[in-house]
Structures are given as structure tokens and as C-alpha cells.
Amino acid sequence: MPPYEVRGCTVAEAPGLAHNNIGAFWESPGYKPLWTDRTLEYVTANAAKRMPRNLLNDRAHRRHQLVVDGETGHIVGYARWILPDRLVGEWLEAQAPAVSAEEEQEFTKAFDKAGWSCLDLPGMDDHVHVAKAKYFERNKNCIELDYLAVHPDHKGRGIASMLVGHGVAAAEKTNVDI
């Protein structure tokens, strides 16, 4: 197996995705303070409960990719992309597979029960929303990189570049900007 493999995500990979994604941001000065009274383990466990629903939310527009370490089998990177309306039938290998209505109901219940209360810092992301609104006003036909996370133990190994490269390839194939 190659050192790293990029592929789509399934709901069964929720625990590994949570471990990667929360670990990627946990020491960030803008992230950890949101969880003043929570441990990394607590937030990761609850993120794992929420992840299946997140993967299934708006399957038409959202695409998810992960990177697996070929030696350990661990998830070490993740990207979420949002497609414009005209591309909902494209890049299906990065679309989370559908599940039964019963499973979806179970995932929604787990999501709702997960402990996910963090400190609210009003205005923290306002500058991001303003910049996105300006860009999307001019260019509604683009693929948006919505989330990118690389586990801290694997940073600096080209994992983010691999994920972004797959998104660039999908954008080029469908003739849209990112």
C-alpha cells in the first residue's frame, strides 16, 4: 500500500475522522479556548457521535475525502468540499454513501445527544463570512473548500496538498473555480 491514500469517507469511519479533526485543531489558539471545561478525549468522543450525521448532511452538495496512513491504517487527513448546484451529480466518489432511513434516524439521535456545548465567541468568524459573501457574490459557480484538517502527528508530509490536489482535479474536470 502507498504511504498515504486519498479516498472518500463512510459513516463507519466517524471515530477516526473525529480523532483526526479534533486533534488537528486542539492546540490551535483559536480553537482550544472554545472548550475551556472539556478534555480532548471528551470533545473527540462527542465529535465521533456527530460525524455520521455531518457526513450525510446535504449529500447532494457536500463531498468528503480522507487520507489514510498506509502503514497504520489511521486517518490522518480530511477535507470537506461544497459543490455548486450544477455539480450535484459529479465527483460521486467523494460523496458519503447513503444509509438506510433507520440508520439515518439513529445517527440523528446520536448527534442530538452528543455533548457539544462550547464557549460562544460572538463575531469570531465574522471576517470569514464577509470575505466568503463577497467572493460568492462574484462567483456562484465554484467548489468551496469548507474544511481541511491534518492530524498534528502527520503535518508537513504533504497530506493537505494531496487533499487540495484532489479538489483541484475535480474542479478542473468540471470546469469550475475553487
Render pLDDT for 39-50 as a digit per residue (tens, 0 to 9).
999 999 999 999
Q: Kindly list the domain boundaries of the chain, sorted by start residue.
A: 4-174
Q: How many CB atoms lie within 10 A of CB 104?
A: 15
Mean pLDDT of 15-20: 97
More confident of the two residues 57 and 124: 57
* pLDDT value for 120: 66
Whole-model pTM above 0.85? Answer: yes
The separation between the first and the last C-alpha atoms of the chain, rounded to the nearest angstrom, is 30
Confidence of residue 33 (pLDDT cuts 50, 70, 90): confident
Domain 4-174 part of CATH 3.40.640: no
* pLDDT value for 129: 72
- pLDDT tens digits along 136-154: 666 678 899 999 999 999 9
pLDDT higher than 60, residue 63: yes
Cell of 3: 504511504
- CB crowding 16-37: b at 16 or more within 10 Å, else e: bbbbbbbbbeeeeeeeeebbee
Rg (CA), the chain: 17
Question: CA 73 → CA 13, 55, 69, 76, distances in Å?
Answer: 11, 20, 5, 9
Confidence of residue 116 (pLDDT cuts 50, 70, 90): confident
Partners of residue 65 on adjacent β-strands: 8, 79
- pLDDT tens digits along 73-107: 999 999 999 999 989 999 999 999 999 999 999 99
In angstroms, the CA 94 to CA 65 distance is 6
- pLDDT tens digits along 162-177: 999 999 999 999 988 8
In angstroms, the CA 83 to CA 13 distance is 22
Helix (H, G, I), strand (E, B) or coil at 26: coil
In angstroms, the CA 66 to CA 75 distance is 7
Mean pLDDT for the chain overall: 90
